[in-house]
Each structure stands twice: as structure tokens, then as C-alpha cells.
Amino acid sequence: MRKLQKDFLLVFVLLLVLTAMSGQSNLKEIADVQYKLKAYDLAINSYEKYLISNEKDVDAMAKLADALYMSNDLISAARWYKKVTSLPNHPMQYDIDFGKILMRLGLYDRAESQFRKIQSPKLSRHYMNSCNFARNMLSMDDNYIIKQMLFSTPYDEFGTEIIDGKLMFCSFKKENINNKSIIQNNPNLIFVYDLESGDKSNFVSGIKNFSGIGPIRYSPSGKYVLYTRNGFVNGTLQITGDEKNLSVYIAEVDDNGQFINEAALPFNNAEYSAAFACFGEDDNTIYYSTNKNSDNFDIYESKKINGNWNPGIPLTKNLINTIGNEITPYYSNGKLYFSSDFINGLGGYDVFSTSLYKNQWSYPINLGKGINSPGDDIYFTKGSDNKIYVTSNRLGSKGGYDIYSATPSKKVNEDAIVYNYMPKAVRLGNLNENRGVNVRTNSSKVVSYGRVKADEAISLENAKMIAYDEIILSPSRVYFIQLASLSRSKVDGRKFRKLTMFGNVYKVKKGHTTKIRLGYFVSRDEAQAVLASVKKQGYRDAFIVEDLLNSSELELIESNYTFNNNKKYKKPSDVSEYKIKLAAYSNPLYFNVNKVKDLGVIEQWSKGKWTIFILSGYKDFNDAQKAMLKARNRGFTTAEIVIDNNGLLSRVKNN
């Protein structure tokens, strides 16, 4: 009898265990479904309950960490990823994900340690380099005054556009309904914010189904508008790369600003997403993001030919498009701005710019801290007076996403907080000294190199041109393709001229040798892609090197810009030799490019520890003289006209 009772008890306990196991299994299945449907709040609750009894389930732990990350709870996500990556034989992707979250938290040293564990040497180097880049970038002075827009709420605001002095944006908070605020989890609506009066109102488009739309982008003529049907959910990250429900529409804009004749663009597809479209230089060019070929977004260009939009072609692989996500393109004044979560940045998505010249896109430039942050910085938009608008979920945001304005710190109102200042320029005659000498602000006297007299040629042996139509800032780790190593310093750049389709050619002084290098590239993948093409050009011994982008070591000998019979460096062939010498600084960050960028092409020169800035691109002396006077009126009181004779600068005599 006692044995029978014991057997019954064992069976009863077994049934309880099996029931509990079944319940746990069902709980995991429920959590997985919630996670797949992006109901992250429900999934988080289910995974937490499940892991109480299944604390070693790596898959559940990783999905819980990701659900917390998607809900903008970075601290909790980091704690769970730490547990996941401490377990043996975990997938490499979890090390990457944990490192990325640490970067978003600004913990670059810890992120670098985590990235060092990645089993792929290529990816490990890339992400470790990104941490180093971020530290260097954050050590620079702030160049922008950043302000959170006044209409920010605890709910997501995102996706800006400027039209007729008004800021259009998306929000999940529907206001002014019977004097009550109604919170909408989904979908979002479009609002209009008057930048002068501060008034905010609902935007009425004329389209019946106008909820869940954004961002919107107007064409250059204002006759058309593009918008993305998004399906975003308030409080969660918007763009991960695997979305399948985003699509792009185009409509005409009538005289009353209403959207009419809505049409889906032909590159939409139910199997993948097309999103974030913007117009290019005209109404017949569109840039958009799509994940049609992978689980990550790339940027494509589509042209309207004979009244029809073509499917589009991807922009340069391993240059613009990477193995990460490239999203939210925006075109303005010859430049394409976009956000990437793979190209070296501060963490999350950073905003970059690139320019098109002779059907080749330039290497993306990180717009720097302020505009970028350790969080996601997306939906870049330019307004008047150089003001920039960006959507960000950076630390300190009221909601998940908020909209920020960025104003160059040297053009803000006097009552605004200025984070850095403009030091006075030094006399070029003191460039070989360890300190600078201030120039009198009321002086218009032209300064010269060292002891060179006013009417003598100015040698460029010690002053090297390092950049044309771009600015190289403080040192950061980049990649070059090394073409040659020479014992002599004099180099005929013409033999490397055909390689300028891939980038600039530099002389880099290293000890007693001179390195000839092509670049620079922000990631090894970019350099690797170009290296194959370089070897096909006959440079079979070329190889990739990682080095600091140090302006004091560089000399530009060939660049990807049109030039004519110049052995020293490239220059435009259709302009005169007249240039304007502006000033020299101990740090190129001190130079306010916005003051003179409309007056000519900016050249950057280096001499010792000093950086010299020169303007070029003038048709004749009179053209240069007009620009010089404007430069002086804008604060460059020592600006002077010089003649560039294939590498020799000489002053223009005063009559």
C-alpha cells in the first residue's frame, strides 16, 4: 500500500513538472511571437517570466536584450547582453550588439574591449577603429549650438521638412481635440510649426489616408512631394534594417498646398521596404533607401525617364552603401546627406555628407558631434541661415525621438551659449615658432612667409597643400592604399594621376622615406574594394595600411579634381592663378568655413604645426579682388591676393 502511494506521488510530481515545462514552453513561444510582431513591451514581460526558470536560455536572453534595446531601455539591454556574452559558445553577433549598445551609452573603452572579442578580425578592427574615431571626435570643440525644439513631448517627434518658413514634422501626439490631448500609439500624424511665431497646427493634406506617413520631402520646384508610409510605433526604434512594411508614394502639390493624384512608386514591393525618399537636384531624380537585397538598407537613385520612374540603382558599394544600414537621404546644394550605422561614427546612426563629381561620389564625411551623438541621428534637414534639423534619440531626449536644431556656434545670437571661440590668426612669418603672434584686428597689412620680401616668390617647400575643397580636421585613424615607398622626397605626381578616380594621392613623410598613398578610407572594407581596382591599373604591389590622418605629415600631390599641367597638385583648369590667402591656425577646427565657403574653393595647406587656408577658383584679378574685400569684411582682415605659379606663391604688388 505504501509503495502504491509512493508510486502515485511520483506520478503526480512528474505530471506537475511536465505541466510546468509545458507552460514554460508555451510562454517562450508566446514571447517569440510577441517579439516577432514587435510588441516589445509584451515580449519583455513574457521573456522575463520565462527566464526565471530558464536562466541559461541564450536565445531568450538575447531577444529580451534586443526588445529592451528596441524600447530605448539601453541600460537594461546592456545588462542582459553582458549576461549573454559571458556564456560560452554564444554567437558572434551578440558581441557586436553589446558593443554597439555600449557605444550608444558613450562607453567607448568598454565597447572597444567587447569588440576585441569578435571572432572576425575584419569586423573587430572596424568596430574598434570606430571607438577610436568616436573618442577623437568627442575630444574636439563643439561647433554647434544644439537646442531641443520647444514642441518636444514625451512622445516621438521625427522626420522634418522645411517649406515656406515652416517646419513640418511627424508626431504621435494628437492635440487640440476638445481641449484634450489624445495620445496615439500608432499611426503618427503630420504637424506644421511656424519657425517665427512658434504656432503649431495639424497639417491637412487632402489625402484621405494621411496617418502613419513620414517623413515628407518636397521637390525643388515644389510641384511634387514624396512621403513614406511607415507603420512606426511610438516609443520604439524605427529602423533596424529588416522592415518589410515601408513604401514610398508621390503626389502633386496644388496651388493650395494640398496633395493630389497620389501614386505608389514602382520600386515598392511587399517582400521588402522602400523608404525615406527625397528629390535630388531636380524633380526627375529620387534618392531612397531599400533593403531589397539584404536585411540592411542601401541608398538607391531613381531617374524619371519618358514619364516613368526606373527601379533605381544602388550608390557606390563599400563607399556610400556598406554592410550596415544607410538611410534617410537628403539632397541640398550638390551634397547628399544620409545616416549610416556602420561607417565610423559616435554610435548608432551618424549623419554623413558626400558630393558627386564626374559621376563619382566622394568619401562620406562625418558631420561631427552636435549634429551627431552616441545615439541615432537621422532625418537630416537644412533650413535657412545654415540651421540644421536632426531627429535623435540621444540621451536627454524627452521622448524616444526628439527633434533638435543645430546652429554653427560662431553665428549664434550673443545671448546664446557659445561652446568654443575663434582664436585670432597667427602671422605666417611665425609659423616655425612654437607659439602664435596675434594680428592686430584693425590691420589690413599683408603678412608673408618668414623673411621673404613682399615682391619675392614664396616657396612651398615647407608649406604643403593637403586638401582641396575639403577640410581635414584633427587626427583620426583611417586607411590608405600604399602605392610606393621612396627614399627621395621629390615625386612626379603625374604617374599616379589615373588613380584619382578612386581618391586623392598623398606624399606622407615617414622618417627618411616618403610614402605614396591613395585615400583616405574610413573603413578597411572601402579600402579593400578600391585596392582590387588599383591592382588592375598595374599597381600590383599596392597594399592597405592603417594610419593616423595627420595633416602635418600629408602633402597632396594629386586630387580627384580637374587640373592643368601642374606637377605639384591639382587645380581647376578654367580659372586664373589668382588666389586669396586667408589666415593660419594652430588647429584647423578654429577656421570658420561658413564665413567664406561661398567666396571660392577652400584649399588647406600645412606648414609645421600650422594650417593655412587659401581660397581659389577666380576667373581673373578683379574677381579675386572682390572676394578678398568680402573676406576682409567678414573678419579675415589680413586676407591678400597671391599668384600661384605651379607651386610658387607670390604677392601682388600694391600700386
| Residues 578 and 621 sit within 8 Å (Cβ to Cβ) | yes
Q: Given this model, what pLDDT does residue 26 score?
A: 86
Spatial separation of the C-alpha atoms in residues 610 and 601, rounded to whole Å = 20
Q: Given this model, what pLDDT does residue 590 score?
A: 62
Q: How big, in percent rounded to 5, are the helix, strand and coil portions of the chain?
A: 25, 30, 45
**What are the b/e assignments for 338-349, b being 16+ CB within 10 Å?**
bbbbbbbbbbbb
Q: What is the distance of C-alpha 607 from the center of its chain? A: 30
Q: Given this model, what pLDDT does residue 22 score?
A: 46
| Residues 470 and 549 sit within 8 Å (Cβ to Cβ) | no
Q: Which helix (DSSP H) or strand (DSSP E) does residue 525 occupy?
A: helix 524-536
Residues of the chain short of pLDDT 70, as ranges, are 1-25, 174-186, 357-358, 410-464, 470-477, 522-523, 525, 551-552, 559-575, 586-590, 594, 607-610, 645-655
- Tell me the CA distances in angstroms from 234 to 40, 212, 213, 402, one per residue in order: 11, 11, 13, 12
Q: Given this model, what pLDDT does residue 421 score?
A: 25
Spatial separation of the C-alpha atoms in residues 499 and 494, rounded to whole Å = 10
Task: Tell me which DSSP letter residue 544 carries.
Answer: E
| Residues 57 and 51 sit within 8 Å (Cβ to Cβ) | yes
Alpha helices by DSSP H, 174-285: none
| Residues 335 and 320 sit within 8 Å (Cβ to Cβ) | no
Angle between helices 2-36 and 58-70 (to 10 degrees): 40
556 DSSP β-pair partners: 506
The beta strand positions in 152-188, using DSSP E, are 157-163, 166-171, 173-177, 180-183
Omega of the bond prior to 408 within 30 degrees of 0, cis? no
The residue type of 227 is: Y
Q: Given this model, what pLDDT does residue 358 score?
A: 66
Nearest to 382, CA basis, from 335, 442, 319: 335
| Residues 389 and 383 sit within 8 Å (Cβ to Cβ) | yes
Spatial separation of the C-alpha atoms in residues 647 and 330, rounded to whole Å = 38
Sketch out the chain's domains with CATH numbers: 25-138 (1.25.40.10), 144-411 (2.120.10), 422-475+559-655 (no CATH), 476-549 (3.30.70.1070)
Written as one string, the DSSP assignment of 302-370 is EEEETTEE---EEPPBTTTB-SS-EEEEEEETTEEEEEESSSS-SSS-EEEEEEEETTEEPPPEE--BT
pTM exceeds cut of 0.95: no
Helix, coil or strand: residue 181:
strand
Q: Given this model, what pLDDT does residue 522 score?
A: 66
Question: Which phi and psi angles does 528 have, rounded to 5°?
Answer: -65, -40
606 DSSP β-pair partners: 464, 611
Grid cell of 6 as nine digits = 509512493
Q: Which helix (DSSP H) or strand (DSSP E) does residue 277 occupy?
A: strand 274-279
